[in-house]
Amino acid sequence: MEVWILYGDDIDSTADLAFEMRRFLAEGEKMGVTVKAFKPNQFDLLVTETNRDQIIIDGQWTDLPDFIFPYFNHSDHSYFSLAIVRQFERMGVAVFNNADTLERVRDKLHAHQVLAESKIPTPDTMLAKFPINVELVEATLGFPLIVKTLHGALGSGVFLIENTKSFDDLMTLVHETQPNILMIFQKFIAHSKGRDLRVLVVEGKVIAGMQRIAKPGDFKANYSQGAKVEAFKVDKKAANLAIKTAKALDIQVAGVDLLFTETGYSICEANTFPGFKGLEQASGVNVPEEIFKAMQNHLDAKSPRLVKKLFGA
Ligand SMILES: Nc1ncnc2c1ncn2[C@@H]1O[C@H](COP(=O)(O)OP(=O)(O)O)[C@@H](O)[C@H]1O
Ligand SMILES: [Mg+2]
């Protein structure tokens, strides 16, 4: 099996997800999987009905791989990167996660709309609109509440606002400096303050889980914000909810975040480019190995011909 990982940064850097890239390359080598990393800007997209077996990389026509794994850095919201993923999909290459999924999930409001439709417990969420009706926000969501930028990641665009006065001040500032910014307001799940549960779901199966505990005084449990991670045995309720979430959003490789509630869990979000440094530490699970195995299974199920070709069966 040949897998191409699409990753925009330098693999040897300290950048977000570079560590994970090195893990994918190392595990691929151990497993006999050919893993190659390409940056989105190495591709040129020529759409043609004549050559359906190749793509242009660094100006050269190159044979297609068996699998594409987009692992864009979290701030890559470019049309170009999505268009590359679509090009592979339309030429019949297997992709985890596909372009529609990436688009759906990076829009936090859309993701919550899908979850609510599927009756999956998730904090009530409102799209910000100026002028803001503070009474309505207070009546529906209450204070404290959470403010998030629509496309944020790694915890950097998430704020806990204690009362109407701070909310008013922040919204005035935003309106004057960034009137076009897209934001959501969300019910604060106080029971989960400073901790959450991360569950990795690959092709509908729970692969690993961990609890994340925020730095003292912080409410955000992102590993990238300095949270501590610890082993957590994923109970049935959490597992079912994480699997249901991945299915509703059609995510093949999903990092699902669950908030703790008095009675169980509420889905905070699902991520399509889950970092897993902390998860491997906490759970002892070999994440790249599990993902490559799921890819191979996917190919086997889809194409008996390819199985024959690969294994001579
Ligand atoms: N509604 C909420 N109630 C309580 N804590 C929350 C809520 N939303 C987010 N958090 C905390 O903030 C962290 C980051 O929020 P999240 O929506 O996952 O944004 P990001 O995509 O930046 O990781 C979560 O891991 C959780 O610890
Ligand atoms: Mg998150």
pLDDT of residue 50: 94
From 187, 224, 259, the mutation candidate for ligand 1 (largest count of ligand atoms within 8 A of CB) is 259
Contact 73, 234 (CB under 8 A): no
Ligand 1 neighbour 196 (Cβ under 6 A): yes
123-150 pLDDT per residue, tens: 999 999 999 999 999 999 999 999 999 9
Closest listed residue to residue 222, CA positions, set 199, 196, 261: 196
CA distance 198 to 253: 13
90-134 pLDDT per residue, tens: 999 999 999 999 999 999 999 999 999 999 999 999 999 999 999
Ligand 1 neighbour 154 (Cβ under 6 A): yes
Ligand 1 neighbour 160 (Cβ under 6 A): no
> Is the CA virtual torsion 120, 150, 95, 14 positive or negative?
negative
From 137, 249, 257, the mutation candidate for ligand 1 (largest count of ligand atoms within 8 A of CB) is 257
Q: Ligand 1, closest atom to CA 187?
A: 1
265-292 pLDDT per residue, tens: 999 999 999 999 999 999 999 999 999 9
Identify the residue whose C-alpha is closest to ligand 1 atom 7.
Answer: 188
Set out the domains of the chain in order of their start, with CATH numbers. 2-100 (3.40.50.20), 124-188 (3.30.1490.20), 191-293 (3.30.470.20)
Ligand 1 neighbour 184 (Cβ under 6 A): no
Ligand 1 neighbour 87 (Cβ under 6 A): no
Angle of helix 287-302 relative to helix 18-31, nearest 10 degrees, comes to: 60
Ligand 1 neighbour 275 (Cβ under 6 A): no
